[in-house]
């Protein structure tokens, strides 16, 4: 096993008296692409928010790069980039202005901002405000924001929602390039074909617990099916 970038030990989280995450144990190695899959309410977004430091477990310990959020928040935050499922942008700001704001917070030069926009195909949006963008364009800008500072860990919540087939393929390429640079990518998705195409490791969650853990090939073999969709038919509502 390689060096861990994320370690979650005995994580428990409740919301309004309901157990969302129940005794989770998870270690993610550096340079891996890991997909969180499962039905609505399985706990995917909650796990990502807790790793990002936006939400905190009721019990248990989370470390990123050996650092706990409560011990060194600045160092912890510098290790990761986070793409939520619906990133809000400033009213009237252009793509360049929005990404420059995030870049300034992370100490990223303007040249990197322009390169990130080019990478996601938004370099020629000019003065068009982000609020007028399509869902797919906003997703691409949110992706650029998460990748901007080349963090060791990239967290993405349903990153392919709203992407057309061309940008879906481009997303796959970008994530593979990110992992090839030694960065780790942890993302949630309902789209099993993307998880199958992209992830080294797939975690299937149900009721806040990991029910399946392995490569796409491992899971298909275990459940006796040629594709993940067929293997998991009936598992998740």
- pLDDT digits 0-9 by tens, 97-122: 999 999 999 999 999 999 999 999 99
pLDDT more than 70, % of the chain: 96
Q: Write down which residue in 131, 150, 169 finishes a domain.
A: 150
State the residue range of the domain holding 3: 1-79+151-237
> Looking at the structure, do residues 132 and 237 belong to the same domain, yes or no?
no
> Looking at the structure, do residues 128 and 56 belong to the same domain, yes or no?
no
**Mean pLDDT computed over 53-68:** 95
- Residue 102 vs residues 143, 151, 154: alpha-carbon distances, Å: 12, 13, 15
What backbone phi and psi angles, to 5 degrees, belong to 169? -65, -40
Number of domains in the chain: 2
* Alpha carbon distance 236, 230 (integer Å): 12
Residue 16's pLDDT is 84
> Looking at the structure, do residues 135 and 160 belong to the same domain, yes or no?
no
Instruction: Say whether pLDDT at 226 is over 80.
Output: no
Mean pLDDT of the chain: 91
> Looking at the structure, do residues 75 and 158 belong to the same domain, yes or no?
yes
Q: What is the 3-state secondary structure (H, E, C) of the chain?
A: CCCEEEEEEEEEEEECCEEEEEEEEEEEECCCEEEEEECCCCCHHHHHHHHHCCCCCCEEEEEECCECCCCCHHHHHHCEEEECCCCCCCCCCEHHHHHHHHHHHHCCCHHHHHHHHHHCCCCCCCCCEHHHCCHHHHHHHHHHHHHCCCCCEEEEECCCCCCCHHHHHHHHHHHHHHHHCCCEEEEECCCHHHHHHHCCEEEEEECCEEEEEECHHHHHHHHCCCCHHHHCCCCCC
Token representation of residue 204: 């299937």
> Looking at the structure, do residues 236 and 180 belong to the same domain, yes or no?
yes
Q: How confident is the model at residue 234 (pLDDT cuts 50, 70, 90)?
A: low
> Looking at the structure, do residues 220 and 103 belong to the same domain, yes or no?
no
Q: Please indicate whether residue 79 or residue 92 has the higher confidence score (pLDDT).
A: 79
pLDDT digits (tens, 9 = 90+) for 133-175: 999 999 999 999 999 999 999 999 999 998 898 899 999 999 9
168: domain CATH number is: 3.40.50.300
> Looking at the structure, do residues 17 and 125 belong to the same domain, yes or no?
no
pLDDT more than 90, % of the chain: 73
> Looking at the structure, do residues 187 and 207 belong to the same domain, yes or no?
yes
Instruction: Say whether pLDDT at 79 is over 90.
Output: yes
> Looking at the structure, do residues 56 and 93 belong to the same domain, yes or no?
no
Q: Sign of the CA dihedral 220, 221, 222, 225? A: positive
* pTM passes above 0.85: yes
């Amino acid at each position: 096993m390689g060096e861990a970038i994320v370690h979650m030990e005995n994580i428990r989280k409740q919301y309004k008296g309901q157990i969302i995450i129940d005794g989770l144990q998870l270690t993610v190695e550096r340079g891996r692409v890991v997909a969180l899959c499962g039905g609505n309410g399985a706990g995917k977004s909650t796990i990502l928010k807790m790793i990002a430091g936006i939400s905190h477990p009721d019990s248990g310990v989370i470390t990123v790069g050996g650092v706990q959020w409560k011990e060194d928040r600045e160092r912890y935050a510098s290790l990761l980039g986070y793409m939520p499922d619906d990133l809000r942008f400033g009213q009237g700001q252009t793509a360049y202005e929005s990404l420059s704001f995030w870049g300034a917070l992370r100490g990223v030069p303007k040249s990197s901002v322009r390169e990130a926009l080019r990478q996601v195909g938004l370099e020629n949006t000019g003065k068009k405000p982000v609020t007028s963008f399509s869902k797919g364009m906003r997703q691409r800008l949110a992706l650029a924001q998460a990748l901007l500072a080349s963090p060791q860990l990239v967290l993405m919540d349903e990153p392919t929602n709203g992407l057309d087939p061309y940008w879906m393929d481009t997303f796959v390429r970008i994530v593979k390039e990110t992992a090839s640079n030694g960065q780790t990518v942890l993302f949630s998705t309902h789209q099993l074909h993307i998880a199958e195409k992209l992830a080294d490791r797939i975690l299937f969650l149900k009721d806040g617990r990991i029910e399946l853990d392995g490569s796409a090939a491992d899971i298909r073999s275990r459940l006796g099916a040629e594709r993940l969709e067929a293997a998991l038919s009936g598992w998740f509502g």
